[in-house]
Amino acid sequence: MACKRGALIVLEGVDRAGKTTQCTKLVESFREAGRAAHLMRFPDRTTTIGKLISSYLENKSDLEDHTVHLLFSANRWELVPLMKKKLEEGTTLIIDRYAFSGVAFTSAKPDFSIEWCKGPDVGLPKPDLVLYLQLSPDAAAQRGEFGTERYETSSFQQRVEGRFEQLMDENSVNWQVIDASQSIDEVHDNIKRLSLSALTAAEHRPIAELWR
Protein backbone atom coordinates (compact mmCIF):
# COMPACT_ATOMS: atom_id res chain seq x y z
CA MET A 1 0.00 0.00 0.00
CA ALA A 2 1.63 3.22 -1.14
CA CYS A 3 -0.21 5.75 1.01
CA LYS A 4 -1.46 5.42 4.56
CA ARG A 5 -5.04 4.22 4.77
CA GLY A 6 -7.67 5.48 7.19
CA ALA A 7 -8.90 3.42 10.13
CA LEU A 8 -12.32 1.79 10.45
CA ILE A 9 -13.65 2.60 13.91
CA VAL A 10 -17.06 1.39 15.11
CA LEU A 11 -19.06 2.51 18.14
CA GLU A 12 -21.53 0.03 19.58
CA GLY A 13 -23.50 -0.06 22.80
CA VAL A 14 -26.91 0.01 24.39
CA ASP A 15 -29.55 2.58 23.59
CA ARG A 16 -28.64 6.08 24.96
CA ALA A 17 -25.07 5.04 25.80
CA GLY A 18 -23.86 8.08 23.85
CA LYS A 19 -22.86 6.52 20.50
CA THR A 20 -24.17 9.34 18.33
CA THR A 21 -22.79 12.06 20.64
CA GLN A 22 -19.35 10.43 20.67
CA CYS A 23 -19.21 9.65 16.93
CA THR A 24 -19.84 13.31 16.17
CA LYS A 25 -17.20 14.51 18.64
CA LEU A 26 -14.66 11.99 17.39
CA VAL A 27 -15.06 13.09 13.77
CA GLU A 28 -14.68 16.75 14.85
CA SER A 29 -11.54 16.05 16.84
CA PHE A 30 -9.94 14.05 14.00
CA ARG A 31 -10.64 16.92 11.63
CA GLU A 32 -9.28 19.51 14.08
CA ALA A 33 -6.11 17.42 14.28
CA GLY A 34 -5.84 17.68 10.47
CA ARG A 35 -6.88 14.09 9.76
CA ALA A 36 -9.62 13.27 7.25
CA ALA A 37 -12.62 11.63 8.95
CA HIS A 38 -16.10 10.68 7.79
CA LEU A 39 -19.17 9.78 9.85
CA MET A 40 -21.41 6.89 8.83
CA ARG A 41 -24.27 5.13 10.59
CA PHE A 42 -26.09 1.84 10.15
CA PRO A 43 -28.81 1.44 9.24
CA ASP A 44 -28.23 4.11 6.59
CA ARG A 45 -31.87 5.06 6.13
CA THR A 46 -31.27 7.14 2.99
CA THR A 47 -30.90 4.27 0.49
CA THR A 48 -33.74 2.24 -1.05
CA ILE A 49 -32.94 -0.68 1.27
CA GLY A 50 -32.52 1.73 4.19
CA LYS A 51 -36.01 3.11 3.60
CA LEU A 52 -37.51 -0.40 3.88
CA ILE A 53 -35.61 -0.86 7.17
CA SER A 54 -36.68 2.54 8.47
CA SER A 55 -40.34 1.83 7.78
CA TYR A 56 -39.97 -1.50 9.65
CA LEU A 57 -38.28 0.16 12.65
CA GLU A 58 -40.99 2.81 12.78
CA ASN A 59 -43.62 0.02 12.88
CA LYS A 60 -45.09 1.28 9.61
CA SER A 61 -44.51 -2.08 7.94
CA ASP A 62 -43.84 -5.66 8.95
CA LEU A 63 -41.07 -7.84 7.60
CA GLU A 64 -40.28 -11.47 8.34
CA ASP A 65 -37.39 -11.67 10.85
CA HIS A 66 -34.83 -13.43 8.58
CA THR A 67 -35.70 -11.06 5.78
CA VAL A 68 -35.10 -7.91 7.79
CA HIS A 69 -31.81 -9.34 9.10
CA LEU A 70 -30.65 -9.83 5.51
CA LEU A 71 -31.78 -6.30 4.61
CA PHE A 72 -29.71 -4.80 7.46
CA SER A 73 -26.71 -6.74 6.13
CA ALA A 74 -27.42 -5.72 2.52
CA ASN A 75 -27.54 -2.11 3.71
CA ARG A 76 -23.93 -2.52 4.89
CA TRP A 77 -22.76 -4.34 1.75
CA GLU A 78 -24.19 -1.65 -0.52
CA LEU A 79 -21.95 0.90 1.24
CA VAL A 80 -18.77 -1.25 1.09
CA PRO A 81 -17.43 0.23 -2.19
CA LEU A 82 -17.70 3.73 -0.69
CA MET A 83 -16.16 2.59 2.60
CA LYS A 84 -13.17 1.00 0.85
CA LYS A 85 -12.66 4.03 -1.38
CA LYS A 86 -12.59 6.37 1.60
CA LEU A 87 -10.30 4.14 3.66
CA GLU A 88 -7.88 3.76 0.75
CA GLU A 89 -7.85 7.54 0.22
CA GLY A 90 -6.69 7.90 3.83
CA THR A 91 -10.03 8.90 5.38
CA THR A 92 -10.87 7.42 8.77
CA LEU A 93 -14.43 6.12 9.05
CA ILE A 94 -16.27 6.54 12.33
CA ILE A 95 -19.36 4.31 12.26
CA ASP A 96 -22.39 4.45 14.54
CA ARG A 97 -23.41 0.71 14.76
CA TYR A 98 -22.22 -2.05 12.42
CA ALA A 99 -22.58 -5.82 12.00
CA PHE A 100 -22.34 -6.35 15.78
CA SER A 101 -25.68 -4.57 16.26
CA GLY A 102 -26.98 -6.70 13.40
CA VAL A 103 -26.06 -9.93 15.21
CA ALA A 104 -26.96 -8.72 18.72
CA PHE A 105 -30.46 -7.51 17.78
CA THR A 106 -31.55 -10.41 15.56
CA SER A 107 -30.09 -13.07 17.86
CA ALA A 108 -32.03 -11.52 20.75
CA LYS A 109 -35.18 -12.74 18.97
CA PRO A 110 -36.40 -16.30 19.68
CA ASP A 111 -34.81 -19.12 17.63
CA PHE A 112 -31.90 -17.17 16.11
CA SER A 113 -28.34 -18.35 16.74
CA ILE A 114 -25.36 -16.02 16.78
CA GLU A 115 -23.71 -18.22 14.12
CA TRP A 116 -26.61 -17.88 11.68
CA CYS A 117 -26.80 -14.13 12.28
CA LYS A 118 -23.11 -13.59 11.49
CA GLY A 119 -23.32 -15.38 8.12
CA PRO A 120 -24.37 -12.54 5.80
CA ASP A 121 -21.80 -10.12 7.29
CA VAL A 122 -18.79 -12.48 6.98
CA GLY A 123 -16.20 -10.72 4.80
CA LEU A 124 -17.29 -7.13 5.43
CA PRO A 125 -14.40 -4.69 6.01
CA LYS A 126 -13.18 -5.55 9.49
CA PRO A 127 -13.07 -2.69 12.01
CA ASP A 128 -9.63 -1.81 13.36
CA LEU A 129 -11.34 -0.91 16.64
CA VAL A 130 -14.79 -1.51 18.13
CA LEU A 131 -15.61 0.74 21.07
CA TYR A 132 -18.39 -0.67 23.23
CA LEU A 133 -20.03 2.07 25.29
CA GLN A 134 -21.21 0.28 28.42
CA LEU A 135 -24.00 1.78 30.50
CA SER A 136 -26.29 0.25 33.14
CA PRO A 137 -30.03 0.22 32.38
CA ASP A 138 -30.59 2.60 35.36
CA ALA A 139 -28.10 5.15 34.05
CA ALA A 140 -29.57 4.85 30.55
CA ALA A 141 -33.08 5.44 31.95
CA GLN A 142 -31.89 8.74 33.48
CA ARG A 143 -30.97 9.93 29.98
CA GLY A 144 -34.58 9.81 28.81
CA GLU A 145 -37.51 7.62 27.96
CA PHE A 146 -37.37 4.93 25.29
CA GLY A 147 -38.50 6.08 21.88
CA THR A 148 -41.38 4.50 20.03
CA GLU A 149 -39.40 2.43 17.51
CA ARG A 150 -39.38 -1.35 17.34
CA TYR A 151 -36.87 -2.92 19.79
CA GLU A 152 -37.11 0.02 22.24
CA THR A 153 -38.27 -1.91 25.30
CA SER A 154 -36.21 -2.69 28.36
CA SER A 155 -36.73 -6.47 28.17
CA PHE A 156 -35.54 -6.65 24.55
CA GLN A 157 -32.61 -4.28 25.23
CA GLN A 158 -31.49 -6.54 28.10
CA ARG A 159 -31.41 -9.54 25.77
CA VAL A 160 -29.45 -7.48 23.23
CA GLU A 161 -26.93 -6.52 25.91
CA GLY A 162 -26.41 -10.22 26.72
CA ARG A 163 -25.72 -10.94 23.04
CA PHE A 164 -23.20 -8.09 22.83
CA GLU A 165 -21.44 -9.61 25.84
CA GLN A 166 -21.23 -12.97 24.05
CA LEU A 167 -19.81 -11.27 20.94
CA MET A 168 -17.20 -9.44 23.02
CA ASP A 169 -15.85 -12.76 24.30
CA GLU A 170 -14.34 -13.39 20.86
CA ASN A 171 -10.84 -12.05 20.53
CA SER A 172 -10.71 -11.99 16.73
CA VAL A 173 -12.16 -8.46 16.96
CA ASN A 174 -10.39 -5.53 18.70
CA TRP A 175 -13.09 -4.73 21.29
CA GLN A 176 -12.50 -1.99 23.85
CA VAL A 177 -15.08 -1.49 26.58
CA ILE A 178 -15.65 2.12 27.65
CA ASP A 179 -17.38 3.22 30.85
CA ALA A 180 -20.12 5.33 29.28
CA SER A 181 -21.35 6.64 32.66
CA GLN A 182 -18.51 9.18 32.71
CA SER A 183 -19.01 12.73 31.47
CA ILE A 184 -19.22 13.35 27.72
CA ASP A 185 -15.69 14.85 27.76
CA GLU A 186 -14.18 12.00 29.78
CA VAL A 187 -15.67 9.39 27.44
CA HIS A 188 -14.43 11.41 24.48
CA ASP A 189 -10.87 11.59 25.84
CA ASN A 190 -10.81 7.80 26.28
CA ILE A 191 -12.12 6.98 22.85
CA LYS A 192 -9.91 9.59 21.16
CA ARG A 193 -6.78 8.06 22.71
CA LEU A 194 -7.79 4.53 21.65
CA SER A 195 -8.78 5.73 18.16
CA LEU A 196 -5.50 7.53 17.49
CA SER A 197 -3.55 4.47 18.51
CA ALA A 198 -5.76 2.24 16.29
CA LEU A 199 -5.13 4.63 13.40
CA THR A 200 -1.36 4.40 13.79
CA ALA A 201 -1.55 0.61 13.95
CA ALA A 202 -3.82 0.40 10.87
CA GLU A 203 -1.99 2.83 8.58
CA HIS A 204 0.20 0.27 6.78
CA ARG A 205 -1.99 -2.83 7.26
CA PRO A 206 -4.39 -3.99 4.54
CA ILE A 207 -8.12 -3.85 5.34
CA ALA A 208 -9.01 -7.25 6.83
CA GLU A 209 -12.25 -9.23 6.48
CA LEU A 210 -14.70 -9.57 9.35
CA TRP A 211 -15.23 -13.06 10.85
CA ARG A 212 -13.09 -14.75 8.16
Q: Using the rule CB under 6 A, is 116 a contact of ligand 2DT?
A: no
Cβ burial, residue 35 (10 Å; 0-12/13-18/19+): middle
CB of 83: closest distance to ligand ADP in angstroms?
A: 20
Contact pick of 30, 105, 132, 175 for ligand 2DT (by CB under 6 A): 105
Contacts of 130 (CB under 8 A, 6+ apart): 9, 10, 11, 12, 98, 100, 173, 174, 175, 176
Q: Answer with the entry of ligand 2DT, ligand ADP, none that 151 interacts with (C-beta below 5 to 8 A by kind).
A: ligand 2DT
Q: Which residues, 6+ apart, have CB-to-CB distance to 141 below 8 Å?
A: none
Pick the stretch among 32-40, 51-59, 77-85, 183-191 that binds ligand ADP (CB under 6 A): 183-191
Segment 26 to 85, residues that bind ligand 2DT, using CB under 6 A: 42-43, 57, 72
Quote the CA–CA distance of 135 and 120 in Å, as a whole number: 29
DSSP at 37: E
Residues in CB range of 196: below 8 A, 6 or more apart: none
Q: Which run of H or E residues covers position 13? A: strand 8-13
User: In angstroms, what is the minimal distance from the CB of 10 to ligand ADP?
Assistant: 13
CA atoms within 13 A on the CB side of 105: 24
Q: Does 16 bind ligand 2DT (CB under 6 A)?
A: no
The answer to whether residue 137 forms part of the interface with ligand ADP (CB under 6 A) is no
Beta carbon nearer to ligand 2DT, 129 or 199: 129
Q: Which does 101 bind (CB under 5 to 8 A by kind): ligand 2DT, ligand ADP, none?
A: ligand 2DT
**Least distance from C-beta 130 to ligand 2DT, angstroms?**
13
| Half-sphere CA count of 98, side-chain side, radius 13 A | 28
Which range of residues in 14-22, 45-53, 76-84, 123-131 is near ligand ADP by CB under 6 A? 14-22
Q: Which residues have C-beta within 8 Å of that of residue 120, sequence separation ≥ 6?
A: 69, 70, 73, 74
Cβ atoms of 37 and 195 within 8 Å: the answer is: no
Q: Is 18 in the site for ligand 2DT (CB under 6 A)?
A: no
Of the ranges 84-92, 100-108, 173-181, 190-198, which one interacts with ligand 2DT (CB under 6 A)?
Answer: 100-108
Site residues (CB under 6 A) for ligand 2DT?
Answer: 42-43, 57, 72, 97, 101-102, 105, 151
